């Protein structure tokens, strides 16, 4: 028993010395973790600072791009409300007729159904200049109507101010701007759309509508990535959504 007790004491001493070494190793690991924690906190702060600098740089590039090369503006039109004109010409007109005319002015027949549009006839959105605009309500039927009419009518196209040309140019510039913004913001677009999609050959109605849907999807994706207020967006308002995206009032532009 005495020999067994001595043997047990020796083993206990070995375990005690090993426990001391483990305790020292544990304290060393804890000190190392504290240093790593401080380092990670410093690196996180530096990374956040770099993100803010990068966001400001992106924001500066975008605002310069949209002010020099691709300015987007809201263009006021000089159209008068037909209800006002009619009421001036006929004082005996009833108030119900005036309200019906005003309501008719705020609606647009788009893709087989009537769409309410409060901005219809009041404003349009221009890109690269006041002469290149898109309908505010997203109705681009003038383009494929012109294409279908051109197929049936032979001869040179002498209408330089044809709205179909304006729509094609505006969509082409919008596509170039969106692709450039995706590079600056480092955001992958969900739909692939080349810059020359809307210029060159005349697109059929199906191909044109499909390309416009891709462009609108890419614009909305960029707006979502930059936390643009969702109440301002509309899936059919191509240039208006772009205008909200690149606006200096967009707080998270460049994130």
Other CB atoms within 10 A of residue 115 CB:
15
202 touches 143 (CB < 8 A): no
Taking the C-alpha atoms of residue 125 and residue 69, their distance in angstroms, rounded to an integer, is 16
Taking the C-alpha atoms of residue 72 and residue 101, their distance in angstroms, rounded to an integer, is 31
> Which residue in this structure is represented by tokens 């530096």?
46
* Tens-place pLDDT, residues 235-251: 889 899 999 999 888 88
Element containing residue 12 per DSSP (H, E): helix 2-68
Other CB atoms within 10 A of residue 222 CB:
20
Mean pLDDT of 190-196: 89
**HEC profile for 176-234?**
HHHHHHHHHHCCCCCCCCCCCCCCCCCCCHHHHHHHHHHHHHHHHHHHHHCCCCHHHCC
123-127 and 133-134: which strand pairing?
antiparallel
Q: Which two tokens stand for residue 126?
A: 């221009």
Residue 95, pLDDT score: 59
User: In the chain, how long is the greatest CA-to-CA distance?
Assistant: 126
* Tens-place pLDDT, residues 33-78: 999 999 999 999 999 999 999 999 999 999 999 999 999 888 876 5
Domain boundaries in the chain?
122-246
Q: Phi then psi for 222, rounded to 5 degrees? A: -65, -40
For the chain, the residue count is 255
113-116 and 72-76: which strand pairing?
unpaired
Taking the C-alpha atoms of residue 182 and residue 192, their distance in angstroms, rounded to an integer, is 12
pTM greater than 0.75 (yes/no): no
* Tens-place pLDDT, residues 164-183: 888 889 999 999 999 999 99
* Tens-place pLDDT, residues 120-169: 445 788 898 888 888 887 788 888 777 777 666 655 554 555 778 888 89
Taking the C-alpha atoms of residue 31 and residue 164, their distance in angstroms, rounded to an integer, is 71
Q: Phi then psi for 169, rounded to 5 degrees? A: -65, -45
Other CB atoms within 10 A of residue 5 CB:
9
255 touches 227 (CB < 8 A): yes
Q: Does 81 have pLDDT greater than 50?
A: no
What interhelical angle do 141-152 and 163-185 show, nearest 10?
130
């Amino acid at each position: 028993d005495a020999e067994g007790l001595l043997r047990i004491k020796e083993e206990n001493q070995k375990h005690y010395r090993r426990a001391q070494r483990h305790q020292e190793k544990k304290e060393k690991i804890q000190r190392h973790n504290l240093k790593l924690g401080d380092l990670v906190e410093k690196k996180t702060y530096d990374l956040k600072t770099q993100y803010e600098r990068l966001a400001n740089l992106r924001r500066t590039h975008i605002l310069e791009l949209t002010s020099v090369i691709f300015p987007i503006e809201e263009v006021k039109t000089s159209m008068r409300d037909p209800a006002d004109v009619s009421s001036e010409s006929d004082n005996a007109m009833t108030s119900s007729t005036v309200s019906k005319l005003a309501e008719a002015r705020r609606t647009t027949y788009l893709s087989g159904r009537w769409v309410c549009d409060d901005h219809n006839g009041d404003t349009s959105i221009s890109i690269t200049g006041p002469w290149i605009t898109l309908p505010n309500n997203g109705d681009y039927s003038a383009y494929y109507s012109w294409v279908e009419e051109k197929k049936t009518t032979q001869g040179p196209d002498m209408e330089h101010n044809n709205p179909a040309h304006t729509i094609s140019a505006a969509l082409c510039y919008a596509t170039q701007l969106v692709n450039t913004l995706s590079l600056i913001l480092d955001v992958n677009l969900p739909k692939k759309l080349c810059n020359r999609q809307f210029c060159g050959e005349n697109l059929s109605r199906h191909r044109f509508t499909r390309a416009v849907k891709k462009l609108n999807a890419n614009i909305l994706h960029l707006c979502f990535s930059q936390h643009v207020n969702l109440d301002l967006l509309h899936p059919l308002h191509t240039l208006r959504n772009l205008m909200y995206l690149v606006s200096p009032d967009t707080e998270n532009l460049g994130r």
